[in-house]
Every structure is written in C-alpha cells, then in structure tokens.
Amino acid sequence: MATTDLSAYDKTTVPNAEKFRFGIVVSEWNETITDALYKGAVAALLENGALEENIIKWDVPGSYELIYGAKKMVSSRNLDAVIAIGSVIKGETKHFDFVCDGVTQGIKDLNLSQETPVIFCVLTDDTMQQSIDRSGGKHGNKGIECAVAAIKMALVKNY
C-alpha cells in the first residue's frame, strides 16, 4: 500500500495548465471513492491553472467501461490528456483479477495506440478502507497525483 502522501507534490515542477483541455472518465461503481478521486483531480487541475470550461467529465457504469469511455473521449474531443478514474475492491471471486487486468491492459493499449495520453487513476485495493485511505484519507488522494501526471503528460503531448 501507499507509504507516501498521494496529494503531495512540488507545484514548481508542474506546468501551467491554462491552455490544456482535459477529459475525466469516472466509474459509477464504488461512487463514494470515485467521486472523491474526481474532486481531488479537478481541484489539482484548477490549482495549476486549468480552466473549468476546459475540463470535461463523462460517467461510465464501471471500471471496465473506462476503456471505451476514454477511447471515445480521445477520438471525439480535442483533449490534451484524459484521466480514467475507477475503484475495484477485491471480493470473494476472481472477478477482481479479471477486471483489474482488463482495465490495466486496456488503458495501456490506449496509450500505445492514441496520441492523447490516458492517465490510470484506478484504485485496485483489497478493502474499502484501503480505497478510502487513498481517495482523501490518510494516504492522500490519488486523484491529485493523477491530475499532476495529466498536466505533465499534456505538456509532453504538445512538444
């Protein structure tokens, strides 16, 4: 599990995001967690200069659907980066493994096949408490970390 504060970053190393457009695709499954991640991501984008009107949010039913949502967003919008936000919590079946593997590979494939970076902001935790701790709890907010990554990758896209 995380041993650092996911919300901590050196603002002086983050480019100004004012000219960038961002997409955020959010899973509705484990909504308490994904909503907290989304709020953290948006706050970090705005803190670093992104304009509210340049942040587009789409909801999808679950983490597995993040792949299609991100692909559709990349192909239909003029964006500099997309953040895929989800939360998969281990249950009693292998479903967890299949969803985690599929989402990880799908987001990886998008990064290889598309010109717009897709940032992996999917928590894959053993317990709800671990997810709470990483979405604004004692380990900070992974959404903030991913927003910073999105800004930095938007700069790379525009080199």
Residues 133-154 pLDDT 10s: 999 999 999 999 999 999 999 9
- For residue 79, being part of any structural domain is answered with yes
Residue 92 banded pLDDT, cuts 50, 70, 90: confident
- For residue 22, being part of any structural domain is answered with no
Mean pLDDT (the chain, rounded): 95
Supply 133's token pair: 């701790």
Residue 2 has pLDDT above 50, yes or no: no
Residue 61 banded pLDDT, cuts 50, 70, 90: very high
User: Total domain count for the chain?
Assistant: 1
**Three-state DSSP class for 7?**
coil
Instruction: Name beta bridge partners: 88.
Output: 124
- For residue 24, being part of any structural domain is answered with no
Task: Note down the domain range covering 126.
Answer: 30-157
Residue 124 banded pLDDT, cuts 50, 70, 90: very high
Residue 3 banded pLDDT, cuts 50, 70, 90: low
Residue 150's pLDDT is 98
Give catalytic residue positions. Answer: 95
Q: Cα separation of 48 and 37, whole Å?
A: 17
Residue 1 has pLDDT above 80, yes or no: no
Q: Rounded to two decimals, what is the model's pTM?
A: 0.95
- For residue 114, being part of any structural domain is answered with yes
Supply 64's token pair: 């597995």
Burial track 4-24 (b if 16+ CB lie within 10 A, e otherwise): eebbebeeeebbebeebbbbb
- For residue 49, being part of any structural domain is answered with yes
Residues 94-117 pLDDT 10s: 888 899 999 999 999 999 999 999
Check: CB of residue 118 under 8 Å from CB of residue 70: yes
CATH number reported for the structural domain that contains residue 143 in this entry: 3.40.50.960
- For residue 147, being part of any structural domain is answered with yes
Reported as half-sphere exposure (CB side, CA atoms, 13 A), residue 32 has a value of 8
- For residue 8, being part of any structural domain is answered with no
